[in-house]
């Protein structure tokens, strides 16, 4: 077979999917069905069917506010396998390390993926506390400070999301009542930070805050975690201040 691929043997569905992805750019972050169909030179019904499949696979996401589409987190997941991802995380790493120097505790950077906390990076604190978390691993939303931040700031209809979640009991402190979780989310939205009071690991407390882009859109969550003995009311206030300072720095890295 020659090096040139015969177009006749191309899978048309795969070809159309990539043509849809090529419609997006840094200048065209969100597109409607009509715009995509025009750019591809095809009909809207065909584009809509493809988008429905791609949305199911999390390759494409729909913005419920304007019903337009944007690239999904599945592409980000795949992008971890190329060097650009390492560069992306490396830009944030110095700020995470500075956070750990100030707080002395382990810091995490995470995004929301498939209604789970997905860890992008972890910087271990000077106390070298063993925390059950790994880069690339996932945790539930309801029992982690990072996850509660995502529910409060990263998900528009958190009532609907909470209704869909299975609030599994992880420790005796885990919130398993959906109304109680909603009340906590509302409190987090008012205060701007979230706490995990030994809800995911006994003896471990976590403080988390949101990271917003320069356009005000939620991007990620960062946290500081440590033993409950060191996380008294005054310390939590200090950690929250350190986290918010780091979040302000990170907004320019992620945007």
pLDDT of the residue at 245: 94
Domain boundaries, the chain: 7-77, 81-254
Q: Is the pTM of this model over 0.75?
A: no
Tell me yes or no: is domain 7-77 CATH 3.40.50.880.
Answer: no
Tell me the β-bridge partners of 207.
195, 224
| The residue to which tokens 């070298």 are assigned | 128
Please report, in tens digits, the pLDDT of each residue of the chain (255 residues total). Answer: 434 444 444 567 888 898 999 898 877 889 999 999 999 988 999 899 999 999 988 899 998 888 999 998 788 767 655 554 566 678 889 999 999 998 888 999 998 888 899 998 999 887 656 677 788 888 999 999 999 999 999 998 999 999 999 999 999 999 999 999 999 999 999 999 999 999 999 999 999 999 998 888 898 999 999 888 877 777 888 899 999 999 999 888 765
List the structure tokens of 79.
């992008």
Q: What's the pLDDT score for residue 76?
A: 72
HSE-CB at 151 with a 13 A cutoff on CA atoms is 30
Topology of domain 81-254, per CATH? Beta-Lactamase (3.30.450)
CA nearest neighbour of 207 among 248, 149, 167, 246: 149
């Amino acid at each position: 077979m020659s090096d040139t691929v015969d177009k006749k043997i191309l899978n048309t569905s795969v070809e159309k999917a990539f043509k849809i992805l090529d419609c997006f750019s840094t200048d065209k972050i969100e597109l409607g069905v009509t715009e995509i169909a025009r750019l591809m030179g095809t009909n809207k019904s065909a584009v809509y069917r493809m988008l429905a499949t791609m949305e199911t696979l999390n390759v494409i996401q729909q913005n419920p506010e304007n019903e337009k589409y944007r690239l999904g987190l599945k592409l980000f997941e795949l992008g971890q396998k190329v060097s650009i991802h390492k560069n992306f995380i490396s830009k944030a790493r110095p700020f995470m390390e500075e956070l750990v120097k100030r707080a002395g505790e382990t810091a995490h950077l995470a995004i929301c993926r498939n209604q789970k906390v997905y860890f992008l990076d972890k910087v271990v604190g000077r106390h070298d506390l063993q925390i059950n978390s790994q880069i690339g691993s996932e945790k539930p939303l309801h029992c982690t400070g990072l996850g509660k931040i995502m529910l409060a700031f990263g998900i528009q209809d958190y009532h609907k999301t909470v209704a869909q979640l299975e609030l599994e009991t992880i420790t005796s402190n885990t919130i398993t009542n959906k109304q109680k979780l909603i009340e906590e989310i509302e409190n987090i939205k008012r205060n701007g930070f979230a706490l995990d009071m030994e809800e995911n690991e006994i003896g471990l407390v976590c403080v988390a805050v949101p990271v917003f882009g320069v356009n005000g859109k939620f991007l990620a969550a960062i946290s500081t975690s440590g033993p409950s003995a060191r996380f008294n009311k005054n310390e939590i206030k200090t950690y929250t201040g350190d986290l918010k300072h780091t979040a302000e720095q990170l907004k320019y890295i992620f945007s």
